[in-house]
């Protein structure tokens, strides 16, 4: 049995145990989304007609009062009848890439920094996505998925690159990526997901500011932007604790030589060294008097992203030009 779920002029089929978000994205219909786990509230929508089951929608993301007023989380809610919903947000610029189940093979594993691995997965068939988006990797034998952003831009054959930080005791990291994972292993994935993506209509200067492996989607964006506009002004800030946490330094120095508009600023919060020290958001504020006309992209732990938004606004970046993705460590 399936139901129909509709938004604006689009209607798709949705199974009784399928989230509305999953149904819409698989149908190539855009719906705001970020965490896909019920925690961020990005996918909140309004049910216009029909009935839904809120399943495990967390109370602190969707209150009882909101449920009674017809709101729901698209990533959690399932239909109990044919349903019509209304989006609360307008679509970002760019193509909507349909959500798909994917299969690939681990083609490389490399230790690139302290407790950080680069993992390459070669897909059986190409995936269309936008720079900045992520996929969910299914952790073998657990029934669980973990989300990792692609750090290479779309269009690079069928290979996806991920940066994965170890979380001690984590089933996905210690138990798999830093444990049993091996080259040649087959992996199941779901994607692409997320609205954090490079605005294809913007060709102006930009600041990319990432913490830890929050560098991954920003690297994809920088590479994509430099491919289409090699002289574009791009300032890439990477904040980590210690020098041993930095990676891809030589690559970014090469980009600086090849692209006069590209600037790379690594910043250590817990260590003095020959480069910048302190919080990466403070380093940005020190470097700029104003960011009028700039776009800003932030990815990292929630506290860093919140500090980054404040820093961007302090330097007069237009709020509508600030894009962000908060992550919590995938254990
Ligand atoms: Fe649904 Fe985050 S709460 S995407």
Q: What is the pLDDT of residues 217-255, one digit of tens each?
A: 999 999 999 999 999 999 999 999 999 999 999 999 999
Q: Taking residues 256-273, report their average pLDDT.
A: 98
Given a contact cutoff of 8 angstroms between Cβ atoms, the answer to whether 127 and 133 are in contact is no
Cα separation, 96 vs 99, whole angstroms? 9
Mean pLDDT, the chain, rounded, equals 95
Given a contact cutoff of 8 angstroms between Cβ atoms, the answer to whether 32 and 42 are in contact is yes
Q: Tell me the pLDDT band of 157, cut-offs 50, 70 and 90.
A: confident
Return contacts of 223-227, CB within 8 angstroms, 24+ apart.
223/131, 223/152, 223/153, 224/131, 224/153, 224/154, 224/198, 225/131, 225/198, 226/255, 226/259, 226/262, 227/153
- The pTM score is 0.95
- CATH 2.40.30.10 residue ranges of the chain are 100-193
Residue 153: partners with Cβ closer than 8 Å, 6 or more residues away: 131, 220, 221, 223, 224, 227
Q: Taking residues 299-323, report their average pLDDT.
A: 97
Given a contact cutoff of 8 angstroms between Cβ atoms, the answer to whether 178 and 186 are in contact is no
Does CATH place domain 100-193 in 3.30.1330.10? no
Is residue 48 within a helix (H) or strand (E), and if so which, with residue range? Answer: strand 44-49
Position 210 pLDDT exceeds 80:
yes
pLDDT score, position 152: 96
Cα separation, 255 vs 284, whole angstroms? 20
Ligand 1 atom nearest the C-alpha of 43 is 1
Ligand 1 centroid–CA 162 distance in Å is 22
The residue behind tokens 């590479």 is 223
Ligand 1 centroid–CA 36 distance in Å is 5
C-alpha dihedral sign at 274, 234, 312, 118 = negative
Q: Residue 126 to residues 100, 103, 168: CA-CA distances in angstroms?
A: 11, 10, 33
Position 167 pLDDT exceeds 80:
yes
| SS3 of residue 230 by DSSP | coil
End-to-end C-alpha distance for the chain, whole angstroms? 36
Ligand 1 centroid–CA 44 distance in Å is 7
Provide the 8-state DSSP code for 90: P
Ligand 1 atom nearest the C-alpha of 35 is 2
Domain range 10-87, CATH architecture: Roll (3.10)
* ipTM confidence score: 1.00
pLDDT score, position 48: 97
Percent of the chain with pLDDT over 90: 94
Ligand 1: residues with CB < 6 A are 33-36, 38-43, 61, 73, 75
Q: Taking residues 30-53, report their average pLDDT.
A: 95
pLDDT score, position 92: 83
pLDDT score, position 93: 82
Position 331 pLDDT exceeds 60:
no
Short-list 264, 261, 266, 297, CA closest to 279: 266
83: β partners: 5
Q: Tell me the pLDDT band of 329, cut-offs 50, 70 and 90.
A: low
What fold is seen in the domain 206-326? Answer: Rossmann fold (3.40.50)
**Mutate which of 22, 31, 32, 33 to test ligand 1's pocket (most atoms within 8 Å of Cβ)?**
33
- CATH 3.40.50.80 residue ranges of the chain are 206-326
Position 327 pLDDT exceeds 90:
no
- CATH 3.10.20.30 residue ranges of the chain are 10-87
pLDDT score, position 328: 67
Q: Tell me the pLDDT band of 270, cut-offs 50, 70 and 90.
A: very high
In a 13 Å sphere around the CA of 188, the CA atoms on its Cβ side amount to 9
Alpha helices, DSSP H, located in the chain: 20-26, 64-68, 215-228, 249-258, 280-287, 302-314
Q: Taking residues 158-183, report their average pLDDT.
A: 94
- Write out the two tokens for 317: 């970046």
Ligand 1 centroid–CA 76 distance in Å is 8
Position 178 pLDDT exceeds 80:
yes
Q: Is the peptide bond before 192 cis (omega within 30 degrees of 0)?
A: yes
């Amino acid at each position: 049995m399936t139901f129909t779920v509709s938004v604006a002029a689009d209607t798709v089929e949705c199974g009784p145990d399928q989230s509305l978000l999953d149904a819409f994205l698989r149908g190539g219909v855009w719906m705001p989304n970020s965490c896909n786990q019920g925690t961020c509230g990005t996918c909140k929508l309004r049910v216009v007609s029909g009935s839904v089951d809120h399943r495990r929608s967390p109370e602190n993301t969707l209150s009882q009062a909101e449920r009674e007023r017809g709101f729901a989380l698209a990533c959690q809610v399932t239909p109990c009848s044919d349903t019509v919903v209304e989006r609360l947000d307008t679509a970002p610029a760019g193509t909507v890439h349909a959500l798909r189940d994917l299969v690939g093979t681990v083609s490389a594993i490399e230790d690139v920094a302290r407790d950080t691995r680069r993992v390459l997965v070669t897909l059986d068939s190409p995936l269309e996505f936008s720079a900045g988006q992520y996929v969910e990797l299914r952790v073998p034998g657990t029934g669980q998925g973990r989300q990792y952003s692609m750090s290479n831009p779309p269009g690079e054959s069928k290979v996806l690159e991920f940066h994965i930080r170890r979380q001690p005791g984590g089933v996905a990291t210690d138990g798999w990526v830093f444990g049993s994972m091996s080259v040649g292993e087959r992996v199941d994935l779901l994607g692409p997901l997320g609205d954090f993506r490079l605005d294809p209509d913007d060709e102006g200067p930009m600041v990319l500011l990432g913490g830890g492996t929050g560098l991954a989607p920003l690297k994809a964006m920088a590479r994509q932007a430099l491919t289409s506009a090699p002289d574009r002004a791009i300032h890439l800030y990477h904040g980590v604790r210690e020098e041993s946490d930095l990676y891809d330094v030589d690559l970014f120095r090469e980009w600086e030589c090849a692209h006069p508009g590209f600037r790379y600023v690594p910043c250590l919060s817990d260590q003095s060294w020959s480069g910048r020290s302190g919080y990466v958001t403070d380093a940005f504020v020190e470097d700029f008097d104003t960011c009028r006309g700039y776009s800003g992209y932030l990815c990292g732990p929630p506290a860093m992203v919140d500090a980054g938004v404040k820093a961007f606004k302090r330097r007069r970046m237009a709020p509508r030009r600030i894009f962000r993705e908060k992550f919590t460590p995938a254990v």
